[in-house]
């Protein structure tokens, strides 16, 4: 029988220098590999490893809590939970966004749950201590019974909060680096897309029977398109898709409206039908059985140009939103960012979608959050997003996401087989390798003492 492996050795750097060298890579260099990145399967199934993540990663990494639309007005609040941690995000009467650890300073009861609006104070239900939305102690019933309580000693513990890309980010670490630095090159690279103009329409949450990393790994590579999304092959170049890896962020740039080189000369009809089936809604074609004949492509244009123009026309006619400033490239190339630890952000000029994975109460459970946005004209009023809990199997997330979800439990169960000890990653899966490189960094810099 094999020797038990200590937690410390399981957390040892995986392939050390190779992973360290990953940062600053482009796909050209990471594909030239002499051997796979090998990641221990235990990282996805071991309760001790999940506990280590719970202490070393989640209280120290920037995370997307909600959209700006969830907390746009004074008195709006949103409770963000990750494992045992709970953070309250509150818009104060002064218009400032603040975040607090969700614990009453009397005996620790959670102060507030869920999300909503119209809050005028944070009042604990247990014995009714209350705080202002700015975190100042306001009232202690029967205060004299405690002796002296100095209000300045009882301010709610603040959590770092910032916004970027119409998203609210929080970090429980008092020494956290600024969000701007954490996000590496992403804000500058995608500044052209004016992400602040999007408005959130819905936050969908569903529980999944897999590790949070199994889920987010599926949004960190497109090597699996040929496997579980073969319908996409006539409309996406899944091979010539440059990637970059910075510190916390990795990025894919993937052309849509062109066929995969894995196919041999797909017909114009096949390319058109595939685009309509996968994302016809962007052009107002939601029924793939009625795609019709492929559009004419004028001389000097490409199918991408024609698709981009249809997307512009649909947006202007139906949504009243002009996309004229966006080029074919900006409308027809997917930018997919992966932000450590658990967020992926998908951007086309007309589209923003965020998917995140939060750990569940055991290593093979997690929550998938999908944050859905619609582009609006600059300066549009904040929206009121729907918050929806979807039961397992109830979620119809569209062709491609449904296929991802359908495979996910199989991807997790195989990890438990005793003969499967390591995942082997190619350079094409460098954003998954970067997740593990960052896990190593966070685990190595955590001293193991709760503070
Ligand atoms: S625990 Fe909140 S008032 Fe007692
Ligand atoms: Fe997928």
Strand segments, DSSP code E, in 102-235 are 115-116, 122-123, 130-131, 137-139, 158-164, 167-171, 198-208
Mean pLDDT of 100-109: 98
Q: How far is CA 373 from the centre of its chain?
A: 13
**Residue ID of nearest Cα to ligand 1 atom 4:** 127
**Is the CB of residue 172 less than 8 Å from the CB of residue 159?**
yes
178 lies in the same domain as 197: no
120 lies in the same domain as 258: no
Q: Is residue 54 part of a domain?
A: no
In DSSP terms, which residues pair with 375 in a beta bridge? 198
Q: Which two tokens stand for residue 78?
A: 């949103």
264 lies in the same domain as 306: yes
> Of 160, 182, 204, which closes a domain?
182
CATH of the domain at 423: 3.90.380.10
- Ligand 1 centroid, distance to 92 Cα (angstroms): 22
Q: Which of 351, 348, 313 is nearest to 331 (CA)?
A: 348
Q: Which atom of ligand 1 is nearest to the CA of 124?
A: 2
Q: Which atom of ligand 1 is nearest to the CA of 108?
A: 1
Q: What is the dihedral of CA 186, 190, 194, 200, to 10 degrees?
A: -60
- Three-state DSSP state, 149: coil
Q: How far is CA 121 from the centre of its chain?
A: 31
Domain containing 87 equals 63-182
Determine the Cα–Cα distance for residues 167 and 243; give it in Å rounded to an integer: 23
Determine the Cα–Cα distance for residues 189 and 199; give it in Å rounded to an integer: 21
Ligand nearest the Cα atom of residue 146: 1
- Ligand 2 centroid, distance to 428 Cα (angstroms): 14
Determine the Cα–Cα distance for residues 15 and 430; give it in Å rounded to an integer: 13
- The pLDDT score that the predictor gives to residue 446 is 87
Distance of CA 385 to CAs 72, 98, 199, 388, Å? 11, 20, 8, 9
- Ligand 2 centroid, distance to 95 Cα (angstroms): 39
| Residues within 6 Å of ligand 1 by CB | 104, 106-107, 109, 124, 126-129
Pocket test residue of 105, 106, 111, 137 for ligand 1, highest count of atoms within 8 A of CB: 106
Q: What percent of the chain has pLDDT over 90?
A: 86
451: confidence class by pLDDT, cuts 50, 70, 90: very low
73 lies in the same domain as 18: no
Q: Which atom of ligand 1 is nearest to the CA of 107?
A: 1
Ligand nearest the Cα atom of residue 236: 2
**Residue ID of nearest Cα to ligand 1 atom 1:** 107
Cβ count within 10 A of residue 141? 10
**Is the CB of residue 346 less than 8 Å from the CB of residue 335?**
yes
Pocket test residue of 100, 101, 107, 149 for ligand 1, highest count of atoms within 8 A of CB: 107
Tens of pLDDT, residue by residue over 186-239, are 999 999 999 999 999 999 999 999 999 999 999 999 999 999 999 999 999 999
Could you write out the DSSP letters of every residue in 357-392? EEE-SSTT-EEEEEEEEEE--TTPPP---EEEEEPT
**Is the CB of residue 114 less than 8 Å from the CB of residue 203?**
no
Tens of pLDDT, residue by residue over 74-89, are 999 999 999 999 999 9
Mean pLDDT of 297-315: 97
Ligand nearest the Cα atom of residue 238: 2
Q: Is residue 56 part of a domain?
A: no
Q: Is residue 187 part of a domain?
A: no
Q: Is residue 170 part of a domain?
A: yes
Tens of pLDDT, residue by residue over 144-198, are 999 999 999 999 999 999 999 999 999 999 999 999 999 999 999 999 999 999 9
Helix (H) or strand (E) holding 432: helix 430-444
- Ligand 2 centroid, distance to 402 Cα (angstroms): 9
Determine the Cα–Cα distance for residues 312 and 57; give it in Å rounded to an integer: 41
Determine the Cα–Cα distance for residues 307 and 445; give it in Å rounded to an integer: 48
In DSSP terms, which residues pair with 139 in a beta bridge? 130
Distance of CA 439 to CAs 244, 306, 396, 429, Å? 18, 43, 32, 16
Mean pLDDT score across all residues of the chain: 92
Pocket test residue of 105, 127, 140 for ligand 1, highest count of atoms within 8 A of CB: 127
CATH of the domain at 112: 2.102.10.10
Q: Is residue 49 part of a domain?
A: no
**Which residues have a Cβ under 8 Å from the Cβ of 19 and sit 6 or more positions away?**
13, 37, 433, 436, 437, 440
Q: Is residue 51 part of a domain?
A: no
263 lies in the same domain as 401: yes
19: confidence class by pLDDT, cuts 50, 70, 90: low
Q: How many domains does the chain have?
A: 2
Cβ count within 10 A of residue 186? 24
Tens of pLDDT, residue by residue over 192-205, are 999 999 999 999 99
Size (the chain), residues: 451
**Residue ID of nearest Cα to ligand 1 atom 3:** 127
Determine the Cα–Cα distance for residues 340 and 210; give it in Å rounded to an integer: 18
Q: Is residue 188 part of a domain?
A: no
Determine the Cα–Cα distance for residues 423 and 325; give it in Å rounded to an integer: 43
132: confidence class by pLDDT, cuts 50, 70, 90: very high
117 lies in the same domain as 206: no
Q: Which of 15, 287, 304 is nearest to 295 (CA)?
A: 304
Q: Which of 321, 443, 333 is nearest to 380 (CA)?
A: 321
151 lies in the same domain as 240: no
- The pLDDT score that the predictor gives to residue 24 is 64
Ligand nearest the Cα atom of residue 224: 2
Q: Which two tokens stand for residue 444?
A: 């190595």
> Of 182, 203, 221, which closes a domain?
182
4: confidence class by pLDDT, cuts 50, 70, 90: very low
148 lies in the same domain as 285: no
433 lies in the same domain as 320: yes
20: confidence class by pLDDT, cuts 50, 70, 90: low
286: confidence class by pLDDT, cuts 50, 70, 90: confident
393: confidence class by pLDDT, cuts 50, 70, 90: confident
164 lies in the same domain as 249: no
416 lies in the same domain as 344: yes
- Three-state DSSP state, 244: strand
Q: Is residue 304 part of a domain?
A: yes
Helix (H) or strand (E) holding 67: strand 63-67
Tens of pLDDT, residue by residue over 247-284, are 999 999 999 999 999 999 999 999 999 999 999 999 99
Could you write out the DSSP letters of every residue in 275-310? HHHHHGGGGT---GGG--SPPP--TT--HHHHHHHH
Q: Which atom of ligand 1 is nearest to the CA of 104?
A: 2
Ligand nearest the Cα atom of residue 102: 1
Distance of CA 434 to CAs 39, 96, 224, 244, Å? 11, 34, 18, 10
Mean pLDDT of 41-47: 96
> Of 150, 182, 214, which closes a domain?
182
255 lies in the same domain as 400: yes
- The pLDDT score that the predictor gives to residue 78 is 98
């Amino acid at each position: 029988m094999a020797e038990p492996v200590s937690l410390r050795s399981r957390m040892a750097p995986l392939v050390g220098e190779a992973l360290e060298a990953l940062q600053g890579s482009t796909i050209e260099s990471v594909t030239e590999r002499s051997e796979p990145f090998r990641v221990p399967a235990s990282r996805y199934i071991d309760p001790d490893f999940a506990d280590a993540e719970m202490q070393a990663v989640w209280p120290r990494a920037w995370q997307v809590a909600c959209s700006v639309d969830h907390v746009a007005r004074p008195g709006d609040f949103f409770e963000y939970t990750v494992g045992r941690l709970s953070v309250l995000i509150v818009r104060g009467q002064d218009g400032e966004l603040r975040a607090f650890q969700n614990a009453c300073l009397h005996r620790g009861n959670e102060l507030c749950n869920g999300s909503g609006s119209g809050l005028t104070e944070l009042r604990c239900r247990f014995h009714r201590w209350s705080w202002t939305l700015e975190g100042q102690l306001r009232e202690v019933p029967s205060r004299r019974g405690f002796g002296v309580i100095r209000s300045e000693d009882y301010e709610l513990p603040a959590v770092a909060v910032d916004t970027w890309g119409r998203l609210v980010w929080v970090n429980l670490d008092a020494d956290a680096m600024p969000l701007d630095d954490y996000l590496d090159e992403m804000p500058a690279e995608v500044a052209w897309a004016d992400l602040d103009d999007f408005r959130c329409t819905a936050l969908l949450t569903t529980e999944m029977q897999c590790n949070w990393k199994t889920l987010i790994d599926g949004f960190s590579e497109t090597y699996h398109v040929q496997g579980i999304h073969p319908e996409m092959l006539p409309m996406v170049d899944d091979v010539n898709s440059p990637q970059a890896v910075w510190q916390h962020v990795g990025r894919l740039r993937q052309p849509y409206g062109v066929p995969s080189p894995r196919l041999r000369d797909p017909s114009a009809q096949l390319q058109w039908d595939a685009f309509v089936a996968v994302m016809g809604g962007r052009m107002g074609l939601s029924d793939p059985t009625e795609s019709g004949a492929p559009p004419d492509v004028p001389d000097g244009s490409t199918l991408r140009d024609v698709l981009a123009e249809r997307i512009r026309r649909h947006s202007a006619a139906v949504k009243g939103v002009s996309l004229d400033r966006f080029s074919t490239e900006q409308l027809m190339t997917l930018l997919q960012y992966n932000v450590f630890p658990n967020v992926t952000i998908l951007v086309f000029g007309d589209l923003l979608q965020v998917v995140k994975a939060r750990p569940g109460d055991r290593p093979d459970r997690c929550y998938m959050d999908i944050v859905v946005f619609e582009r609006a004209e600059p300066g549009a009023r904040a929206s009121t997003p729907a918050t929806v809990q979807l039961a397992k199997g109830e979620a119809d997330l569209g062709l491609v996401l449904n296929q991802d979800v359908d495979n996910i439990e199989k991807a997790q169960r195989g990890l438990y087989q005793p003969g499967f000890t390591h995942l082997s990653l190619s350079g094409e899966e460098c954003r998954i390798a970067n997740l593990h490189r960052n896990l190593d960094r966070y685990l190595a810099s955590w001293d193991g003492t709760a503070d």
